[in-house]
Structure 1
Amino acid sequence: MKIPNILTSLRIVLIPVFVLVYYLPYNWAPLATGCVFAVAGFTDWLDGYLARRLNQSSPFGAFLDPVADKLMVAISLALLVESYETAWITIPAVVIIGREIVISALREWMAELGQRASVAVSYIGKVKTALQMLAIMLMIVSEPFSQISWAGIVALYLAALLTIWSMFQYLRAAWPALSEEM
């Protein structure tokens, strides 16, 4: 098994650990949860770096990496929605999760048409992901609606806006193929 795929698999294994630590009834649990999330985020960067650097890219890794990312983000957002108990957090979370489902389906469909490159990850998508990870991290490690969490909420809304923008970019890029099939 290739090192990048091991790191991606580790990220998936960390998900139940992340959830378990999130629910621990100790005052250190938010910080520990943030550390687990940070390790997962670091492995996301590291597996991509090593796949390129060691020339260990693989179709399995190309499939598994986005699955691991989307699972971690969706589960994190679901936990935050529960903790914050307000539509102000639910709305951007639903936008982000919904977009991930739409774009994943679009990429799969475009791949079947042999046009996967037209919906490849964009710079906006990378910025969106970075903001999303920052938002989740800040909101996990702090009490809901504290100063730190407000910075996370602002980052979450910025990520949601970029989410919508990047979704429209992907849909526009795929539109010629989509309109042919209608």
Structure 2
Amino acid sequence: MARVSNLNLPNIITVARIATIPVIVWLLTTGDIGLRVVAVVIFAVAAGSDWVDGFIARRFNQVSPLGRMLDPIADKLLVGMVLAALAWDGSLSALDLVPVMAILFREFFIPGLREFLGNTQVVLPVSLLAKWKTTIQLVAVIVIFLEGILPNLRLAGDIVLWLAGAITLWTGGQYFMAAWPHLSGEEK
């Protein structure tokens, strides 16, 4: 198997996605509606880049260990930090914080579980539903962004956010149940 350089287009796209986070947060927290529009556009491009970097990496055989490590971290940072900024600027109600906390809990817990199990040579592969979970989280954030521009989207934002929270918990539960035999000492 040929060694793939870490300085490749998919990894550059992933690093760029991470680099957009402080810009998005700053634009969002200014309180300016025009800058909020710019923030949602940058967020949407960053969210879409997740698919693009994966496609390029697979299509042109540029999958690298760095990319496999950075890509999910970029997604978690993008969603988590922007949700924190949306909570800070008042875009989220107190009730909205329930699915937000579920999302953040799972996004910290499952990587920690994977890291722990990595020491035992147990691998928890990413499920298709977990990939959809990320997409639904990204869509939820975009709709919440847009609520600050189009307030009549409030109900849609709440529905998508709660759906994202539910799917996030479901996939977290699936991973935990798959890991349970290794955590409890019951594996065969």
TM-score (norm 1): 0.92
Residues of 2 paired with 1:93 and 1:124: CA distance?
18
| Structure 2 letter corresponding to 1:92 | P
Query: Is 1:71 the equivalent of 2:77?
Result: yes
2:185 is paired with a residue whose SS is: helix
Residue 89 of structure 1 corresponds to: 96
1:107 aligns with 2:105: no
Paired amino acid for 2:87 = V
Q: List structure 1 runs of 4+ shifted beyond 6 angstroms.
A: none
More helix by share: 1
Q: CA RMSD in A?
A: 1.7
Distance 2:96 2:149 in 1: 10
Count of paired positions: 179
Give runs of aligned pairs for residues 141-180 of structure 1, distance below 5 A: 141-143=146-148, 146-180=151-185
SS in 1 for 2:95: helix
Q: Percent identity?
A: 39
Go from structure 1 to structure 2 and tell me whether the alpha carbon gap of 1:176 and 1:19 turns closer, same or farther (over 3 Å shift): same
In structure 1, distance between residues paired with 2:31 and 2:164: 30
Instruction: Tell me which amino acid in the other structure corresponds to 2:69.
Output: F
Confirm or deny: 8 A CA contact 1:30 1:140 kept in the other structure.
Answer: yes
Unmatched 5+ stretches in structure 1: none
| 2:137 paired residue among 132, 141, 144 | 132
Distance in 2 (alpha carbons) for counterparts of 1:25 and 1:139:
14
The 3 A distance-change label for structure 1 pair 113 and 144 is farther
Q: What is aligned with 1:27?
A: 33
By how many angstroms is 1:115 displaced? Answer: 1.4
User: 1:30–1:142: 8 Å Cα contact kept in structure 2?
Assistant: no
Q: Does residue 98 in structure 1 map to residue 105 in structure 2?
A: yes
Aligned mate of 1:39, from 31, 35, 45: 45
In the TM superposition, what is the alpha-carbon distance from 1:144 to its structure 2 partner?
A: 8.2
What is the Cα deviation at residue 74 of structure 1?
0.5
Give me the TM-score of the superposition, normalised by structure 2.
0.89
